[in-house]
Amino acid sequence: MTALALSATVASGLAECVRARPLLGTLVEIAASGDTADTVQTAISNAFDAVERVHQLMSYQAADSDISRINRGGFERPVTVARHTWHVLQAAARFSEASDGLFDITIAPTLTKLGFLPRHSDFPRISGQGNWRHVLLLPDNQVRLARRLRIDVSGIAKGYAVDLAIAALQEAGMYSGRVNAGGDLRVFGETAQIIHVRHPGSPTQMLPVVELRQGAAATSAGYYTQRRYQGRMVTPLINPHTRVAAEVQRSVTILADDCMTADALTKVVHADPHSAVGKLSQFGARALMLEADTASGGCRVFDTSSLYPAAWRTRVIT
């Protein structure tokens, strides 16, 4: 067998390596380059540990995660969670506030109804009222639900996991690195990398859209996650105000400094592209929206960079 990626030492004496593991319900790929093959391996293992920690703490599926413990007992009494979970919930509240609720972690019951999240028989019934404002963050990492709600942080935790993994690579002294968790990716290092996005109308084709040297890109689209519900195709991208799922044939890519921001903002843009435009600048983010152009077989790209040309170290490839 050939060793294509692992421990392939390049001419400069740098060791490079790329590994993949199934985590967060997707394939997480981590690549890094450093001084020796051993330090690179250790750094990547540490990065995977960070992703695994987020997976264990914030999975909606796992019965013993912080999120499941909140969903089970958060209305009755405050639940103490890990620092990471607390941090993600705090960020979620910030994104909800800034987007007038277009980002909302309390859409979990809608996702369950549409079949995107499992039913847990031991979770209490929900009241059908309330939103992100009723997730109370109390001192000492305690969380309480002011209404009978169910929360799901999968719209943001994947990005957070990518950020933690990147931090682990940097702490280990890597020269460059890349973490890609099924659409949420972040890179650092000397050379710019070309980011591809799938053609929303024919997802087997990749389009090179942007060159990225430092920072994150997150893409959300329905093409691989859509499913049939009552005769209609639905995606897990829900508008929290209307509880209606976004269209299938549009893909949204957000570029931002960190992956959690990029991840969260894809949901905001999907929910309401019009009002989202004005909200990106406060996060220093840029959005690319791809729509299939049936006449030409190509896609139309909508780009917010002309509104905020500021500090982007990226260019759009056309």
For residues 28 and 24, what is the distance between their CA atoms, to the nearest angstrom?
Answer: 8
279 binds other proteins (CB under 8 A): no
311 binds other proteins (CB under 8 A): no
Minimum distance, C-beta of residue 243 to other proteins, in the bound complex (Å):
22
Length of the chain: 318
Task: Find the binder of other proteins among 7, 80, 90, 127 (CB under 8 A).
Answer: 7
26 binds other proteins (CB under 8 A): yes
Closer Cβ to other proteins, 86 or 175, answer by number? 175
Task: Find the binder of other proteins among 96, 112, 180, 314 (CB under 8 A).
Answer: 180
Task: Find the binder of other proteins among 35, 298, 313, 315 (CB under 8 A).
Answer: 298
Query: Among 72-80, 96-104, 147-155, 184-192, which window interacts with other proteins (CB under 8 A)?
Result: 184-192
Q: Which of these, 278, 244, 243, 285, lies nearest to 264 by C-alpha position?
A: 285
Task: Find the binder of other proteins among 63, 80, 297, 313 (CB under 8 A).
Answer: 297
3-class SS at 212? strand
Minimum distance, C-beta of residue 93 to other proteins, in the bound complex (Å):
26
Q: Which of these, 108, 101, 20, lies nearest to 59 by C-alpha position?
A: 108
3-class SS at 65? coil
Residues between 201 and 220 with contacts to other proteins, criterion CB under 8 A: 202-209, 212, 217-220
Closer Cβ to other proteins, 74 or 183, answer by number? 183
Total residues binding other proteins (CB under 8 A): 72
293 binds other proteins (CB under 8 A): yes
Closer Cβ to other proteins, 137 or 277, answer by number? 277
Angle formed at CA 59 by CA 204 and CA 186, multiple of 5 degrees = 50
Minimum distance, C-beta of residue 30 to other proteins, in the bound complex (Å):
10
- Amino acid 257 reads D
According to DSSP, residue 125 is labeled P
Q: Are the beta carbons of 69 and 81 closer than 8 angstroms?
A: yes
100 binds other proteins (CB under 8 A): no
Q: Which of these, 52, 114, 46, 57, lies nearest to 81 by C-alpha position?
A: 57
Q: Are the beta carbons of 141 and 81 closer than 8 angstroms?
A: yes
Structure tokens at 2: 């050939």
